[in-house]
Structure 1
Amino acid sequence: MGAITWEVSGSQGFETAWAEQEDGVLRARGRAVGTVPEPYWISYELETAEGFVTRRLSVTAEAEAGTRSLDLLHDGQGRWTANGEPLPDVDGALDCDLGLCPLTNTMPVLRHGLHLASGEREFLMAWVSVPDLAVRPSRQTYTHLGPGRVRFASGDFRSDLEFDEEGYVVEYPSLATRLTAR
């Protein structure tokens, strides 16, 4: 399991994730500290099923208002629950996207090899805002631009991301820059 640390300009903070991939499965745990939109700490654990499809994201966030927890589960059939409550707005999504977290851009890129080969894919994501941990649907498009380069788009937002050969974010303009190699 290798550690990756990013400076997260989007939160004016830092994140470290310990991640491992094996047989199309990603497991990771991470911690982040940020000051935007307010000072917070985050701890998370992420587990995918085969094909890098999210199985579970467990997150704890601590901010001035107190501590919140989210247990986001995907049943493998396209249905999601948050702390046991159904989330019909994100039915059909295969991935979670933890806000201000560069690690969660890895799953769709790896599943479709978009950091290595041409293609464009549109996804529905179970997007988790930070630090309130609210889950909302998010339509996102990933487009291969060249080896290790993928354009991320959601609504009016666009950013050209750089990935390493393993599918982890190296540079996410306006969000994060990796400080350590795996």
Structure 2
Amino acid sequence: MTDTLVLTWDVIESVGHETAWVRFADDLNSFSAHGRAVGTTPEPYWISYELETGEGFVTRRLRVRAERADSTRTLELLHDGEGRWTANGAPVPDVDGALDCDLGLCPLTNTMPALRHGLHRSEGEREFLMAWVSVPDLGVHPSRQTYTHLGRTETGGARVRFASGTYRSDLEVDTDGTVVDYPGMARRLDARTVRTA
């Protein structure tokens, strides 16, 4: 039997919702997850994804399926563990050197860099290059991002500032490093642990 963390967010920016099922490895140094999201802005769409990280929460694989009224797209984004990426088998040199994917409007993918550097527990600031996947078109783009620990919360989590270009948002994360509140983008509705086979 395995414990699965089940997280559900109200995704304000897409006027939709997302649920993710997350399984941390026994050593708590990696996780695998799958999730589903529905959005209505800029148009109605469904997203389903599978995410796998390796040691240190470095992305190994992200598979995404996006359905719109007139089309369905799929993406398999693979990281070779040394900083090189492919999207559906084709190299993506613009994101070479990135360790993390960042699925657009998906609060779960803010978790990996915070966990890897302990920014949900202690002071620090880190800059990252991300392989950002826009939704619902599933384009892969380079994104420079900065995460800064701002302080602990009364519940044992932390406030972490997310910055990219001129954009700033102060996130609240829990003790697992998962997003509780991402002002303007998403707010968590439910979190529970379930025992699965």
Query: What TM-score do the two structures reach when normalised by structure 2?
Result: 0.91
Q: Structure 2: which amino acid aligns with 1:136?
A: H
Distance apart, 1:20 and its partner CA = 1.6
Residue 178 (structure 2) pairs with residue 163 (structure 1): no
Q: Structure 2: which amino acid aligns with 1:74?
A: H
Residue 87 (structure 2) pairs with residue 77 (structure 1): no
- Residue deviations 1:126-159, cap 9 Å, x none? 0000000000000000000002110000011100
Task: Report matched runs for 1:133-144 at 5 Å.
Answer: 133-144=138-149
Residue 30 (structure 2) pairs with residue 20 (structure 1): no
Distance in structure 2 (CA, Å) of the matches to 1:181 and 1:83 = 33
Q: Select 1:112's aligned residue among 93, 108, 117.
A: 117
Alignment-derived partner of residue 103 in structure 1: 108
SS in 2 for 1:115: coil
Larger radius of gyration: 2
Distance in structure 2 (CA, Å) of the matches to 1:86 and 1:64 = 29
Alignment-derived partner of residue 61 in structure 1: 66
Residue 16 (structure 2) pairs with residue 6 (structure 1): no
Q: Structure 1: which amino acid aligns with 2:182?
A: Y
List runs of 5+ in structure 1 lacking aligned partners: none
- Residue deviations 1:36-80, cap 9 Å, x none? 111100000000000000000000000123100000000000000
Residue 49 (structure 2) pairs with residue 37 (structure 1): no
Alignment-derived partner of residue 154 in structure 1: 164
CA RMSD, 1 decimal: 0.6
SS in 2 for 1:124: strand
Stretches (4+) displaced over 6 A: none
Distance in structure 2 (CA, Å) of the matches to 1:121 and 1:167 = 15
Distance apart, 1:90 and its partner CA = 0.1
Distance in structure 2 (CA, Å) of the matches to 1:30 and 1:108 = 19
Q: Tell me the number of residue pairs that the alignment of Structure 1 and Structure 2 aligns.
A: 182
Distance in structure 2 (CA, Å) of the matches to 1:41 and 1:146 = 35
Distance in structure 1 (CA, Å) of the matches to 2:167 and 2:5 = 30
Q: Structure 2: which amino acid aligns with 1:2?
A: L
Distance in structure 1 (CA, Å) of the matches to 2:123 and 2:23 = 25
Q: Structure 2: which amino acid aligns with 1:126?
A: A
Alignment-derived partner of residue 88 in structure 1: 93
Distance apart, 1:181 and its partner CA = 1.9
Q: Structure 2: which amino acid aligns with 1:163?
A: V
Distance apart, 1:83 and its partner CA = 0.2
- Residue deviations 1:98-151, cap 9 Å, x none? 000000000000000101100000000000000000000000000000021100
- Indicate the percent of aligned positions where both proteins have the same amino acid: 73
Q: Select 2:133's aligned residue among 121, 128, 131.
A: 128
Distance apart, 1:32 and its partner CA = 0.0
SS in 2 for 1:179: strand
